[in-house]
Structure 1
Amino acid sequence: MGDDQLTVEVVDRGPDILISVSGEMDFGTNADFLRVVQPLAESGRPLVVDLADLAFCDSSGLGALVRVHNMTEAAGGTLYLAHLRPQLKSTITLTMLHRLFHIQDDLPDPGAAPN
C-alpha cells in the first residue's frame, strides 16, 4: 500500500520500553521494524507497542508482531500492544492472535502494564 513509509520511535520509560509505530507495516517495511525492535525484544524488558498511528498492517506485519512477541517472551519479557485501530483489532481477533497478544485499549503508565 501507499509509499511504504514506516516510523518507529523508541522511548525508554524506565520499567518498560515504549515503541511508537506509525505508517504502514507490510512486506516492504517489516525489516526496518524488526531491525529496531529485535534488540529490544531480546533485552527481556516489557515492551509497549503503541499502534495508534499505524495506518496499515498486512499479514506479514502481523507475522512481524508475532515474531517480536516470541522473542520478547523467550527473553523473559512481555509484549503489550496498545491503541489498536478497529480494523487491526478485528483482524487480530479473527486470526485468534488476541489469545497470544496482551492488548491494551490505552497506553499504560510506565511499568503499569498488567501481567
Structure 2
Amino acid sequence: MASVSSVSMSEYPIALEWTIAEERLKALKDTKNESLESEKFTAIHSSDVQYYLEIYPNRSDYEDPGETHVFLFLELGNEKKIGSEFTLSIKFAEWSRKFNYMIGRHNGWGRD
C-alpha cells in the first residue's frame, strides 16, 4: 500500500502600488542599466521574506536592449523555496501581465 504525503502551503498575500514621477523615469531614459528600486516590504515575518520592485527604463545588458524591464524581487530569508503568483501592471501604459514562478535560493525574482 502506497503512502500519500500532503504538503501544506501557507498563503501570504502581498500588494504594492508604486507611483514614480515621470521626471525620475525621464532622467534615466538615456542611461544604460540604471534602475529605480521601491521600498522593501516584509511578506512573511516569521522567516523574514521581503519583496520589492525594480524598474530599468533602458536595460541594455539583457535580451532586448533598450526596452524597459520591471522585476519583482523576493529575498527569501529563512525559506528555501516559494511558489509565487503575481500580476505586474502599468496603468498609464494599459499593460498587465500575470506570472507564476517557483522561486528558490538562486532565482529570487521574476521579470518582464
The structure with higher relative contact order (CA 8 Å, sep 6+) is 1
Q: Which has the larger radius of gyration?
A: 2
TM over 0.5, shorter chain: no
TM-score (norm 2): 0.31
More helix by share: 1
